[in-house]
Amino acid sequence: MSAHADNHAHDDDHGHHHKETFVTKYIFSQDHKMIAKQYLVTGTIMGVIGVIMSFMFRMQIAWPEEPNVLFEALLGKWAPDGVMDADIYLALVTIHGTIMVFFVLTAGLSGTFSNLLIPLQIGARDMASGFLNMVSYWLFFLSCIIMVSSLFVEAGPAAAGWTIYPPLSALPMAQGGSGMGMTLWLVSMAIFIASSLLGSLNYVVTVINLRTKGMSMTRLPLTIWAFFVTAIIGIISFPVLLSAALLLIMDRSFGTSFFLSDIFIQGEVLHYQGGSPVLFEHLFWFLGHPEVYIVILPAMGLVSEIMASNSRKPIFGYRAMIASILAIAFLSTIVWGHHMFISGMNPFLGSVFTFTTLLIAIPSAVKAFNWITTLWKGNLQMNPAMLFSIGFVSTFITGGLTGIILGDSALDINVHDTYFVVAHFHLVMGISALYGMFAGIYHWYPKMYGRMLNKNLGYIHFWITAVCAYGVFFPMHFIGMAGLPRRYYTNSNFPLFDDLANVNVIITIFALVGGVVQVIYLYNFFISMYYGKKAVQNPWQSTTLEWTTPVEHIHGNWPGEIPHVYRWAYDYSKPGHDVDFVPQNIPLKDGEEELQH
Cα end-to-end span (Å), the chain = 18
The whole-number pLDDT of residue 18 equals 53
pLDDT digits (tens, 9 = 90+) for 422-470: 999 999 999 999 999 999 999 999 999 999 999 999 999 999 999 999 9
Residue ending a domain, among 275, 309, 325, is 275
The stretch 295-313 carries a mean pLDDT of: 96
CA 320 – CA 326 distance, rounded (Å): 10
Is residue 2 over pLDDT 70? Answer: no
On whether residue 553 sits in a domain, the answer given is: yes
Q: In 486-500, which positions are buried (b, 16+ CB within 10 angstroms) versus exposed (e)? A: bebbebeeeeebeeb
On whether residue 588 sits in a domain, the answer given is: yes
Give the pLDDT band of residue 16 (cuts 50, 70, 90). very low
Give the pLDDT band of residue 14 (cuts 50, 70, 90). very low
The whole-number pLDDT of residue 27 equals 84
The whole-number pLDDT of residue 554 equals 86
The stretch 68-92 carries a mean pLDDT of: 92
The whole-number pLDDT of residue 241 equals 94
Is residue 7 over pLDDT 50? Answer: no
The whole-number pLDDT of residue 560 equals 87
pLDDT digits (tens, 9 = 90+) for 504-554: 999 999 999 999 999 999 999 999 999 999 999 999 999 999 999 999 988
Q: Which amino acid is at 123?
A: G
Give the pLDDT band of residue 13 (cuts 50, 70, 90). very low
DSSP for 302-315? HHHHHHHHHHTSPP
Higher per-residue confidence, 230 vs 8: 230
**CATH code (residue 169):** 1.20.210.10
The number of domains in the chain is 2
CB-CB contact of 71 with 83 (8 Å): yes
On whether residue 501 sits in a domain, the answer given is: no
DSSP for 208-247? HH-PPTT--GGGS-HHHHHHHHHHHHHHHHHHHHHHHHHH
Residue ending a domain, among 226, 241, 275, is 275
Domain interval for residue 255: 22-262+271-275
User: Which residues are registered as beta bridge partners of 264?
Assistant: 269
pLDDT digits (tens, 9 = 90+) for 161-198: 999 999 899 999 888 899 999 999 999 999 999 999 99
On whether residue 244 sits in a domain, the answer given is: yes
Plot region of 487 (φ>0 → left; ψ -120 to 50 → alpha; else → beta): left
Phi, psi of 407 (to 5 degrees): -80, -10
pLDDT digits (tens, 9 = 90+) for 473-507: 999 999 999 999 999 999 988 899 999 999 999 99
Give the pLDDT band of residue 8 (cuts 50, 70, 90). very low
Give the pLDDT band of residue 44 (cuts 50, 70, 90). very high
CA 497 – CA 501 distance, rounded (Å): 7
Q: What mean pLDDT value characterizes the chain?
A: 92
Is residue 3 over pLDDT 60? Answer: no
pLDDT digits (tens, 9 = 90+) for 377-407: 999 999 999 999 999 999 999 999 999 999 9
On whether residue 359 sits in a domain, the answer given is: no
CB-CB contact of 93 with 162 (8 Å): yes
Share of residues in the chain with pLDDT > 70 (%): 96
User: Rounded to two decimals, what is the model's pTM?
Assistant: 0.94
On whether residue 282 sits in a domain, the answer given is: no
On whether residue 212 sits in a domain, the answer given is: yes
On whether residue 329 sits in a domain, the answer given is: no
Residue ending a domain, among 246, 275, 304, is 275
Length of the chain: 597
The whole-number pLDDT of residue 211 equals 95
CB-CB contact of 304 with 222 (8 Å): yes
Is residue 61 over pLDDT 90? Answer: yes
CA 533 – CA 541 distance, rounded (Å): 17
Closest CA to 276 of 247, 239, 237: 247
CA angle 293, 296, 302 (to 5 degrees): 135
The stretch 137-156 carries a mean pLDDT of: 96
